[in-house]
Structure 1
């Protein structure tokens, strides 16, 4: 096989791996803050180089494809930028796994805080705990001055109840996140806060 075919097989395999991982709610956590911009850029660059070297492909089509791909990538990057997602990793004292919290807020009269959770063992690949996302909405007059999403969820006061249960003392009360995939019950239990 030629270098071109090997390159296409490698880039196609990486793309297929990312698609399969996404379908099963697994993610490379280092790619999560940028979405899929790095793999998209790699695809555009590799395919452009291969197309420029191929004698039967018109270079004008290659330039048009690169420009179109770059425009799509920039629009995608803009949406990621305005999303302002932040991430915090909370390691388990049991040294078995960690919880990565993806959070953002949206303000329009009241502030809504969104939290998504990913369990990970080594910090490279994370499984989304999609059934345990938390949304906390606070009216404008109730929102504490200078509060940030970490304080609203209580990330600094979080504790590992067991090896697989994380507890947060949030603005709305106690929230528990179960890292077991078989705990589909109401995992974000809530009790009123004790102030």
Structure 2
């Protein structure tokens, strides 16, 4: 759901910029015949700054698109996954502010985008953040990244998502289709102890088995 909201906000900003670009282009076309030589030089310099801000904005959108396409295929950038959607969203909003300043966009649009951003960040902060832990095999050849969190309502539900580092630095691939759920009651052990990280059995290149008094979890590594 958070990713959908992030994509919606990014698309809204993109549509807003395209609309305002069209309005500004029309206004400049109407004013161009009235410009003298000095004004034309100033206009050329201003357009150069606008182009740079526009290129940066398009770069930010390209990054957002890459993140979405990678996620569809089950691949994630480790720095982005650890911060959720906040990092790419902030990049897009910074690019928007740079373009808004270069284009002298109306305060209403800047305030509107700022309000949307603040509301989204408040929502992100209010939700439970998923911590991540890296677990390596004794040989060091295999590394599994575990996203874990828990929710208590009578009994405690422990949720796990597993990722494996890829050959591309900073990129990891999701290993399990859904989210693993282990239920406990009255335990003081943390998520990783409930999973059985300390009792893991590794067969490099094939699988890892996490075992505890609560569950046994097998992960295929190939």
TM-score bucket (shorter structure): 0.7 to 0.9
Give 1:64's aligned residue: 112
Do the aligned residues in 2 keep the contact of 1:157 with 1:169 (CA within 8 Å)? yes
Q: Higher helix proportion, which one?
A: 2
- Per residue, is there more strand in 1 or in 2? 1
Change (3 A) 1:17 1:104: same
Q: 1:104 to 1:152 in 2, by over 3 A?
A: same
Match for residue 152 of structure 1? 194
2:172 to 119, 126, 130: 126
Return the match for 1:136 from 161, 164, 182: 182
Matched, 1:117 2:162: yes
Check the 8 A contact 1:103/1:116 in 2, yes or no: yes
After TM superposition, which residue ranges in structure 1, 4 or more long, deviate above 4 angstroms?
none
Deviations 1:24-58 (CA, angstroms, capped at 9, x unpaired): 11111222232110111121121012112204x21
- Corresponding residue number in structure 2 for 1:11: 60
Q: Distance in 2 between matches of 1:175 and 1:65?
A: 44
Q: C-alpha distance in 2, partners of 1:85/1:98?
A: 19
**Counterparts of 1:37 and 1:171 in 2: how far apart (Å)?**
37
Note the residue ranges of structure 2 that are not aligned, 5 or more in a row: 1-47
- TM-score w.r.t. length of structure 1: 0.78
The alignment partner of 2:177 has SS state of: helix
Contact 2:142/2:204 (CA < 8 Å) preserved in 1? no
Q: CA RMSD in A?
A: 2.1
- The alpha-carbon distance between structure 1 residues 90 and 116, as it changes in their structure 2 partners (threshold 3 A), is same
Number of aligned residues = 172
Q: Bigger radius of gyration, 1 or 2?
A: 2
